[in-house]
Amino acid sequence: MIPHGGAPAGARADFSTNLNALGPPGFLLRALRQAPLGRYPDPEYAELRALLGETARVVVGAGASELIHRLVAAFGGPVAVFCPGFGEYAYAARVRGVEVIVARDEEAFVQAMRRSAIGFLASPNNPDGRVFGVDFLKAAVGAGGLLVLDLAYAPLSEVPVFVPEGAVRLHSPNKAFALPGVRAGYAVFPEPALARRVRALAPSWVLSSTGEAFLRLASAEEARTWLSVTRPRLFAWRRALAKGLSRLGFRVVEGRANFLMARIGEGRIAALREAGVWVRSLSDKGMQGWARLSAQGPKRRRMLWEVLGG
Ligand SMILES: Cc1ncc(COP(=O)(O)O)c(C=O)c1O
């Protein structure tokens, strides 16, 4: 296991995950309770896959993390990763004894892709919220290895997210709808042959009936409308958070998603936790004193200011 965000049940405020703070929507929760749990799902998930893209190019899984591990198992290494980035990519490589090439800037990532079987990038990136540009992504996809573009936060991006042709698209709609307990995700491959390699490694019924219902409902009109209503509020909350933290003299990296990074110091991270306010320390990524905080409403921000002195 590696560190991830998430607060215990008794926490007063949770800034530590990047879930949409306005969710989950009631209509989705109600619909998920109707999932047919009394029978096995279709082992091919044929209807769902047809809904999510061209059937032969779609692979469903029990969340993006499960698919990340399967991708590494299918394509091997070396594995190129961007730093700072989501830790599960390197972890999936490490547990298989596969070499990891860590790139600390875009040029280094393109170089790393030349020597890699597979490379992972999230856009927007976790933890800094950056959205990668067209030229860089085209260079990365053409460099050699298979590029997996992790679109976990694309539905929560303030700007359009470019996806180059030839990349694998990895989707995890649970962030946008604040339903991380429903373990469901999917990947769309540029070619059916690549998808087959990853599908072949799944156990039977890898996706629960609830997960299947979630992926179907998350791509429906009602869900898309709900999301589009929440997004401007989340971005306004992120800006208010950035302004408050900057005013207190902390260095802030804002990015374009529903979260930001700030250097508030290890002591304050601990003091916040003591007060039941959880932020994601980035010390495990070599960023001592830095924390990642998601956009939250005014009531929760006040809890933050109580401890930080704003
Ligand atoms: C960039 C990124 N990708 C994937 C995941 C995990 O997604 P899932 O919950 O579908 O496993 C996370 C969760 O923090 C993430 O930040």
Residue 34 binned pLDDT confidence (cut-offs 50, 70, 90): very high
Domain layout of the chain by residue ranges = 13-18+223-308, 27-221
- In this prediction, residues 277-289 reach a mean pLDDT of 96
Distance 64 CA to ligand 1 centre (A): 6
Distance 170 CA to ligand 1 centre (A): 10
Q: Which two tokens stand for residue 153?
A: 């936060």
- In this prediction, residues 98-106 reach a mean pLDDT of 98
**Residue nearest to ligand 1 atom 7, measured at CA:** 64
Mutational test site, ligand 1, from 88, 121, 285, max ligand atoms within 8 Å of CB: 88
**Residue nearest to ligand 1 atom 4, measured at CA:** 64
Residue 310 binned pLDDT confidence (cut-offs 50, 70, 90): low
Report the pLDDT value the prediction gives residue 4, as an integer from 0 to 100. Answer: 81
Distance 171 CA to ligand 1 centre (A): 9
CB 74 within 8 A of CB 61: no
The single-letter code of the amino acid at 205 is: W
Ligand 1, residue 4: give the atom nearest the CA.
14
Query: What is the spatial distance between Cα 266 and Cα 289, in angstroms, rounded to a whole number?
Result: 5
What percent of the chain has a predicted confidence (pLDDT) above 90?
A: 95
User: What is the CB < 6 Å shell around ligand 1?
Assistant: 4, 63-65, 86, 122, 126, 150, 152, 172, 174, 180, 185
- In this prediction, residues 265-284 reach a mean pLDDT of 96
CB 251 within 8 A of CB 241: no
Mutational test site, ligand 1, from 2, 83, 172, max ligand atoms within 8 Å of CB: 172
pLDDT tens across 71-81, in order? 999 999 899 99
Q: How far is CA 20 from CA 70, 138, 242, in A?
A: 27, 30, 17
- In this prediction, residues 96-105 reach a mean pLDDT of 98
In the predicted structure, residue 274 carries a pLDDT above the cut 80: yes
Looking at the structure, give the CATH architecture of the domain made up of residues 27-221.
Answer: 3-Layer(aba) Sandwich (3.40)
- The per-residue pLDDT of the chain, averaged, comes to 97
Report the pLDDT value the prediction gives residue 26, as an integer from 0 to 100. Answer: 97
CATH number for the segment(s) 13-18+223-308: 3.90.1150.10
- Please state the pTM of the whole predicted model: 0.97
Mutational test site, ligand 1, from 83, 126, 169, max ligand atoms within 8 Å of CB: 126
pLDDT tens across 191-238, in order? 999 999 999 999 999 999 999 999 999 999 999 999 999 999 999 999
Query: What is the spatial distance between Cα 236 and Cα 21, in angstroms, rounded to a whole number?
Result: 12
> Following CA atoms 90, 91, 95, 100 in sequence, which dihedral angle do they give, to the nearest 10 degrees?
10
pLDDT tens across 135-185, in order? 999 999 999 999 999 999 999 999 999 999 999 999 999 999 999 999 999
Question: From edge to edge, which strands make up the β-sheet containing 259-263?
Answer: 251-253, 259-263, 290-294, 280-281
In the predicted structure, residue 22 carries a pLDDT above the cut 90: yes
Ligand 1, residue 66: give the atom nearest the CA.
11
CB 74 within 8 A of CB 198: yes
